[in-house]
Amino acid sequence: MKKVIIFLVFCSVNIFCYSQDKFVTDSLDMLYQSVKNDSLKIDLLLKLSKVYQANDLERSIEFSQTALEIAKKGDYPIMEAKVNNKMGILLYHLGRYDDSLDYFLRSKKIYEKLDNNNLLLGQVNNICGIYIQMEEYDKAMGLYQDIIYKQNKLLEKGDSTNFSQMHIFYNSLGVLYNKMEEYKLAQSYFKKALENAKDFKFHSRFGAFYNNLGSNLLELNEIGEALRYLNLSVEHCKEVNDKLELSKSYILLSRLYFSLQKNETAVDFANFALQVAVEIGAVESMEKAAFSLYKIYKEMGESSKALVAHEKYHQYQDSLFNERSVKEITRLQMMYDFNKQEEIRKVEEKKLLFKMSLIISILVFCIVLTGLLYLLNKSREKRLFFEKKSLEKDVELGNKELTMNVIYLLEKNELMKQIAKKLSEIKELKKANSREIIEQIIKDVEVNMKINVWEEFEIRFQKIHQSFYTNLRIKFPNLSKSDEKLSALLSLGMTSKEIAAITHQSIKSIEVARTRLRKKLNLTNTNTNLVEFLAKL
């Protein structure tokens, strides 16, 4: 049941959304509170903004701002562009052209990003209106030309969606050229506007276009054509009861006949214009009509009538000034309220930004700290790993040395046993044979020492430099065992004298052996150092 009620209210809103009746606003409020869909909420807020636009700009702006916040958070680009456009219109009415332009440009940027040229054209027209108000005619001109170019591109693609509205753009371009005093160009665009409006039967616009053409032709002093268009405007405005444009037509006709020095006819049309303007309360037209009467009566020499007309002119001017003053005061109040809200919003945004920055900074700090702790932990693990490996290697080397020492002691003990045994045998032998036995013992000890020292060296060497012999044999397979031993000793940086002591050879023999080894290693006639060469294997 609730959904049915909401649907009926929504239908009522669509029919009466332009009314400012309390029922409509209450219905919109009730519907807004009921719906959950963000897109529908934005649409309702825009309708509420439009309802309040005529008599409460402050409320209208509030609704639009709320709609803009929802559109941004919910990622609704089309709706966001529409709300930006609405904000631009509201600020335009406040006379805040710079801020209005900012919102229009935001909307334009979204339409460009979405490549929606149909909506983009209307937005550009609003921007042009701002530029005209700011008297930046060159900027407005560039944009209007761009509108025409893009519309032609759409037509080439078969998209005529906006073509029925081109009279708006043509007329605006004509007004712009008129302000720039390029009357011929202005005339061509006014005619295009009229032609487009006729093609699509926008009868309500004919009067304004006829008047624009009549005014333009007066500037060009083409009186006959100006009179034709102004008479067409009068005829049309009477037909559709457009009294505002009718009063403008009469003012222009008065000006036309005054230029022809047909003062009586000029007075008649000025009075017609004043009568219609008073009837509809168009103060600006009343002011212009009274001023026309003043000029004509003054030219005719009718001072008393000129004075009356001048008094009326000042009366209407004061009334218009008062009306404008009230609007200006209202505009200034709205501007103050809007600025105040903007300041509050910016303060809140700064607070939110500070909080977000603080949270992000804390998160970054935590991430960096976690990373550092992780790296320190990995570094510690790596250090412990290498320490463990180093300790294992030290233990391994210690074990090797211990083993070699034990073997060495065993061999020495065995040797000592043999010596003790043989010396014991001497006691049993005759004295003549004792010398030979002792000499034999000495020889046995020397041989044992020679073999044992080399074997002990070779074992230790192979344990520490496990790949030396392998690399040497791969690269130089023709080396003898003696060559390999000499190579091992040289790789440790031992001198010929040291090697001779270990191997029980003469120094000269070692030098000869070194020369033969250089030749076998293909180092003869080179500057390569033999010891360095072997140390790198």
Instruction: State the CATH number of the domain containing residue 237.
Output: 1.25.40.10
Tokens for 447? 């041989």
With respect to residue 290, please indicate whether it lies within any of the assigned structural domains.
Answer: yes
Q: Name which of 214, 387, 327 is nearest 319 in CA terms.
A: 327
With respect to residue 510, please indicate whether it lies within any of the assigned structural domains.
Answer: yes
Final residue belonging to a domain, choices 301, 330, 352: 301
Q: For the residues 523-533, what does the mean pLDDT come to?
A: 87
pLDDT at 454: 62
With respect to residue 476, please indicate whether it lies within any of the assigned structural domains.
Answer: yes
With respect to residue 124, please indicate whether it lies within any of the assigned structural domains.
Answer: no
CB 495 within 8 A of CB 451: no
With respect to residue 375, please indicate whether it lies within any of the assigned structural domains.
Answer: no
Task: Please indicate whether residue 426 or residue 275 has the higher confidence score (pLDDT).
Answer: 275
Which residues neighbour 90 within 8 Å (Cβ) at sequence distance 6 or greater?
Answer: 49, 53, 57, 60, 61, 64, 100
Final residue belonging to a domain, choices 301, 321, 355: 301
For the stretch 19-63, pLDDT in tens is 444 555 555 656 556 667 888 888 888 888 888 775 677 788 888
Final residue belonging to a domain, choices 282, 301, 320: 301
pLDDT at 325: 54
Q: Name which of 284, 285, 274 is nearest 322 in CA terms.
A: 284
CB 194 within 8 A of CB 182: no
Q: What is the DSSP letter of 157?
A: T
Q: How far apart are CA 321 and CA 315, in angstroms?
A: 10
For the stretch 105-140, pLDDT in tens is 899 899 888 887 777 777 888 888 888 878 888 888
pLDDT at 53: 73
With respect to residue 272, please indicate whether it lies within any of the assigned structural domains.
Answer: yes
Q: For the residues 57-85, what does the mean pLDDT come to?
A: 87
Domain count, the chain: 2
Q: For the residues 389-412, what does the mean pLDDT come to?
A: 55
pLDDT at 394: 59
Q: Is the pLDDT of residue 336 over 80?
A: no
Q: Is the pLDDT of residue 224 over 50?
A: yes
Q: Is the pLDDT of residue 440 over 70?
A: yes
% of the chain beyond a pLDDT of 70: 75
Helix (H, G, I), strand (E, B) or coil at 522: coil
With respect to residue 495, please indicate whether it lies within any of the assigned structural domains.
Answer: yes
Tokens for 188? 């061509």
pTM exceeding 0.75: no
Instruction: State the CATH number of the domain containing residue 476.
Output: 1.10.10
- Domain containing 501 equals 465-537
With respect to residue 284, please indicate whether it lies within any of the assigned structural domains.
Answer: yes
